[in-house]
């Protein structure tokens, strides 16, 4: 499990064609360009606005998944996209702050098909740039004077806290004794679900929705994150790098908690036991990773993971149904959930 | 100019003996201990609560300069220390988040006489720990439901933004073309003054003080930061490492913007010109650094810097006088300003 990035192309276009991108990206661009010039340069590069020399670039900006969720959820509680524009931009910035630091932590040299920010500008400036995006995100939210300001600020602060807790918990598991499935779920809920929940809940906080709506949206975000991350783990092992945009088996090479592997390990049996030895031995050659993949599949880990991802997606949609959003927004979010989890074009 | 840390001992004791420490430290400790366990361990170590094994430690926690300023300013606008306890703790956490990251950026191996967090736990966990303290600080502020919540949240977010802008600006100057005195002042206002201003202004925001009081306190914090930083630059070159607690001439070795050097360079003359060549050549042996020190003094840089530090302290006190705080608090802050700048016991 690595930090998720739904880059590549096309997702935002699903949702009221171009609305998300044209609503949110100009705010992101304007806010980032107003940073101290060196920070602006690093952040604009990371976000695909510019190349390493500061010249305009046509690089991918990311799919704006969280902004798309927030925009659709806004429509679902009777708001316009503009009513949460600043928050949607802020959430994308918060997400990107974690990506910049994560690439340093994981020594990942590529992000969205280009050298990661730390490879281009050095770790020191990348640390400051990640800090600056985190700070900017929170500043945009606390400065926005609209309805629900305090509640939305708290939701962002809590999501920020949870993501960092999840990253640290994952890092600790990776270093140490390994995780069980309960620990895996907790890490994903913190690291992945928290920002998706923030995306879904923010418009409801702005609209003053009742608690049962907030609870339903939180539940939807929680299960969406789990479905997404588990599918991502399956793709890390058996996916096509041309589709995922990431090196094959990078997560298991790094011994990140991976649900197919955890499921195979907990299944026991001879394949599971051989897998345990191989997993703990730490080999990272292609042959090692292939054998881990084969044993994981043989022990039923792939099947279990695929089933769990589908179950979590079903649960996410069930919670979404309970939120009582407008039918058009519910349909839009349903399609969006499906695309987020299954990366269909 | 390095990131300032007023560690060692004794400052807080000045101010209503033990009040700051006994009011603020328990909140800091409790908040940090509630972090995800690995983050809690790194942060507790950095803050001197525990050693690297997580056992209780009697290490220095820092002087709580910013908490002391906030507590005294609270008394000055008719509040009790408890009324800004959470904000005072949050400001110390924000300051410490910058120290943890700064030590990584500068590859500083020592902090408050102990190995820096990144030396003990690795850069990855230190990055996450700094992020977590930044997030926690903002969360404490936005979650606090007391008066002036929105305004205080904005003040913290702005201070956070400014510190990062200043750090990046300093880093850029260090890499590149060097700074003039105007650029130096701007960096210090961002990197050093911003948190001091936040400390002084927060109680006034809580008390609903009028704009002229806020402006006076902002001015006091601005000049206090400049006076402090310039004195620090003088101490870096000519101070006693046993008093400063830092390696002698670490800042000029690193070619950080340093006011005595900038003043000597801008003075021109033969000493200034020889200094320019030496400064740009980048030599870092003790002999090089000694020659830089001697030429800086010969060109009048030390004298100018000492004068500027005194002038800024006078201006800080002048602004403080305009804030119309209670006489007792004004006297306390006057003594505190003097001790912060001159590091008198």
Q: Cβ–Cβ of A39/B165 closer than 8 Å?
A: yes
Domain ranges of chain B: 11-342
- What pLDDT was estimated at residue A5? 45
- Over residues B271-280, mean pLDDT: 90
- What pLDDT was estimated at residue A16? 55
**To which residue do tokens 């400036």 refer?**
A125
User: Within a 13 Å sphere around the CA of B16, how many CA atoms are in the beta-carbon half?
Assistant: 19
Q: Is B257:B29 a contact under the CB 8 Å cutoff?
A: no
- Summarize pLDDT for B211-267 with one digit per residue, the tens: 999 999 999 999 999 999 999 999 999 988 777 667 778 888 888 889 999 999 998
Bridge partners (DSSP) of residue A115 are: A110
Pick the more confident residue, B330 or B243: B330
Shortest CA gap B105–chain A (Å): 5
Q: Cβ–Cβ of B160/A127 closer than 8 Å?
A: no
The closest CB to that of B167, out of A128, A149, A164, belongs to A128
The closest CB to that of B127, out of A36, A37, A101, belongs to A101
8-47 in chain B: CB under 8 A from chain A: 35-39
Transcribe B177-238 into DSSP letters: T---HHHHHHHHIIIIIHHHHHHHHHHHHHHT--HHHHHHHHHHHHHHHHHHHHHHHHHHHH
Question: Cα dist. A251→A3, A235, A278 in Å?
Answer: 10, 10, 15
Q: Is A202:A154 a contact under the CB 8 Å cutoff?
A: no
pLDDT at B2 over 60: no
Classify B104 as helix, strand or coil: helix
The closest CB to that of B39, out of A127, A130, A164, belongs to A164
Shortest CA gap A124–chain B (Å): 5
Taking the C-alpha atoms of residue B203 and residue B67, their distance in angstroms, rounded to an integer, is 11
A57 touches chain B (CB under 8 A): no
| Residues of chain A positioned with their CB less than 8 A from the CB of B100 | none
User: Within a 13 Å sphere around the CA of B9, how many CA atoms are in the beta-carbon half?
Assistant: 4
Q: Cβ–Cβ of A160/B169 closer than 8 Å?
A: no
- Summarize pLDDT for A35-47 with one digit per residue, the tens: 999 999 999 999 9
**CATH 3.30.70.2190 describes domain B11-342:** no
Shortest CA gap B161–chain A (Å): 6
Q: Is A341:A314 a contact under the CB 8 Å cutoff?
A: no
Share of chain A above pLDDT 90, in %: 73
Shortest CA gap A167–chain B (Å): 8
- What pLDDT was estimated at residue A13? 37
Taking the C-alpha atoms of residue B208 and residue B161, their distance in angstroms, rounded to an integer, is 24
Q: Cβ–Cβ of A124/B150 closer than 8 Å?
A: no
The closest CB to that of A143, out of B143, B145, B154, belongs to B154
pLDDT bucket at B175, cuts 50 / 70 / 90:
low
Classify B110 as helix, strand or coil: strand
Element (H, E) at B114: strand B114-115
Shortest CA gap B66–chain A (Å): 20
Taking the C-alpha atoms of residue B199 and residue B67, their distance in angstroms, rounded to an integer, is 7
The closest CB to that of A128, out of B142, B158, B164, belongs to B164
Taking the C-alpha atoms of residue B137 and residue B163, their distance in angstroms, rounded to an integer, is 14
149-168 in chain A: CB under 8 A from chain B: 149-150, 153-154, 157-158, 160-161, 164-168
Shortest CA distance from A145: residue in chain B = B150
pLDDT bucket at B17, cuts 50 / 70 / 90:
very low
- Over residues B330-336, mean pLDDT: 96
Shortest CA gap A154–chain B (Å): 6
Shortest CA distance from A34: residue in chain B = B165
Shortest CA distance from A146: residue in chain B = B150
- What pLDDT was estimated at residue B7? 41
Shortest CA gap B130–chain A (Å): 9
Shortest CA gap A207–chain B (Å): 19
Shortest CA gap A17–chain B (Å): 34
- Summarize pLDDT for A55-108 with one digit per residue, the tens: 888 777 778 999 999 999 999 999 999 999 999 999 999 999 999 999 999 888
Shortest CA gap B49–chain A (Å): 20
A124 touches chain B (CB under 8 A): yes
Classify B264 as helix, strand or coil: helix
- Over residues B75-88, mean pLDDT: 96
pLDDT at A8 over 60: no
Q: Cβ–Cβ of B164/A131 closer than 8 Å?
A: yes
pLDDT at A330 over 70: yes
Structure tokens at A286: 């292609």
- Over residues B97-104, mean pLDDT: 97
- What pLDDT was estimated at residue A11? 37
Question: Cα dist. A190→A94, A214, B140 in Å?
Answer: 14, 18, 19
Give the contacts of B78 (CB within 8 A, at least 6 positions apart): B207, B326
Range in A261-270, B19-28, B83-92, B237-246 with the lowest mean pLDDT: B237-246
- Summarize pLDDT for A129-159 with one digit per residue, the tens: 999 999 999 999 999 999 999 999 999 999 9
pLDDT at A254 over 90: no
The closest CB to that of B105, out of A36, A124, A150, belongs to A124
Q: Cβ–Cβ of B138/A158 closer than 8 Å?
A: no
Q: What Rg value do the Cα atoms of chain A yield, rounded? A: 20
Length of chain B (residues)? 345
Q: Cβ–Cβ of A132/B158 closer than 8 Å?
A: no
Structure tokens at B2: 């390095």
- What pLDDT was estimated at residue B133? 98
The closest CB to that of B125, out of A39, A135, A171, belongs to A171
Q: Cβ–Cβ of B128/A168 closer than 8 Å?
A: yes
Mean pLDDT of chain A: 90
**Distance between first and last Cα of chain A:** 22
Q: Cβ–Cβ of B150/A154 closer than 8 Å?
A: no
Q: Cβ–Cβ of B36/A164 closer than 8 Å?
A: yes
pLDDT at B178 over 80: no
- Over residues A290-319, mean pLDDT: 96
Taking the C-alpha atoms of residue B84 and residue B255, their distance in angstroms, rounded to an integer, is 38
- Over residues B106-120, mean pLDDT: 91
pLDDT bucket at B194, cuts 50 / 70 / 90:
very high
A94 touches chain B (CB under 8 A): no
pLDDT bucket at A281, cuts 50 / 70 / 90:
confident
Range in A25-39, A43-57, B56-70 with the lowest mean pLDDT: B56-70
Shortest CA distance from A137: residue in chain B = B157
Taking the C-alpha atoms of residue A69 and residue B267, their distance in angstroms, rounded to an integer, is 59
- Summarize pLDDT for A190-248 with one digit per residue, the tens: 999 999 999 999 999 999 999 999 999 999 999 999 999 999 999 999 988 777 667 77
The closest CB to that of B139, out of A35, A150, A161, belongs to A161
The closest CB to that of A128, out of B37, B124, B168, belongs to B168
- What pLDDT was estimated at residue B249? 86
Mean pLDDT of chain B: 90
Classify B115 as helix, strand or coil: strand
């Amino acid at each position: 499990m690595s930090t998720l990035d739904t880059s590549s192309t096309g997702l935002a276009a699903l949702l009221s064609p171009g609305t998300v991108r044209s609503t949110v990206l100009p705010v992101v661009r304007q806010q980032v360009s107003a940073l101290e010039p060196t920070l602006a340069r690093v952040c604009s590069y990371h976000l695909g606005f510019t190349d390493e020399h500061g010249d305009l670039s046509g690089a991918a900006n990311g799919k704006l998944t969280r902004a798309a969720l927030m925009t659709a959820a806004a429509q679902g509680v009777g708001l316009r996209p503009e009513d949460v524009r600043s928050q949607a931009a802020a959430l994308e910035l918060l997400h990107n702050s974690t990506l910049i630091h994560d690439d340093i932590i994981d020594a990942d040299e590529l992000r969205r098909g280009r050298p990661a920010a730390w490879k281009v500008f050095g770790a020191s400036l990348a640390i400051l740039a990640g800090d600056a995006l985190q700070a900017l995100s929170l500043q945009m939210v606390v400065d926005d004077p609209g309805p629900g300001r305090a509640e939305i600020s708290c939701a962002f602060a809590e999501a920020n806290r949870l993501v960092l807790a999840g990253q640290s918990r994952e890092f600790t598991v990776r270093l140490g004794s390994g995780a069980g499935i309960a620990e895996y779920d907790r890490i994903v809920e913190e690291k992945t679900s928290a920002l998706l929940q923030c995306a879904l809940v923010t418009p409801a906080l702005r609209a003053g929705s009742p608690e049962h709506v907030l609870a339903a949206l939180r539940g939807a975000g929680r299960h969406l994150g789990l479905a997404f991350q588990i599918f991502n783990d399956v793709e890390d092992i058996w996916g096509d790098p041309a589709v995922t945009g990431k090196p094959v088996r990078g997560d298991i090479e790094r011994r990140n908690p991976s649900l197919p592997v955890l499921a195979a390990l907990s299944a026991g049996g001879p394949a599971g036991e051989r897998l345990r030895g191989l997993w703990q031995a730490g080999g990272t050659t292609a042959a090692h990773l292939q054998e881990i993949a084969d044993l994981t599949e043989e022990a039923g880990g792939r099947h279990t993971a695929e089933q769990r991802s589908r179950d979590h997606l079903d649960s996410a949609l069930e919670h979404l149904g309970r939120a009582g959003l407008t039918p058009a927004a519910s349909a839009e979010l349903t399609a969006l959930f499906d695309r987020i989890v299954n990366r269909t074009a």
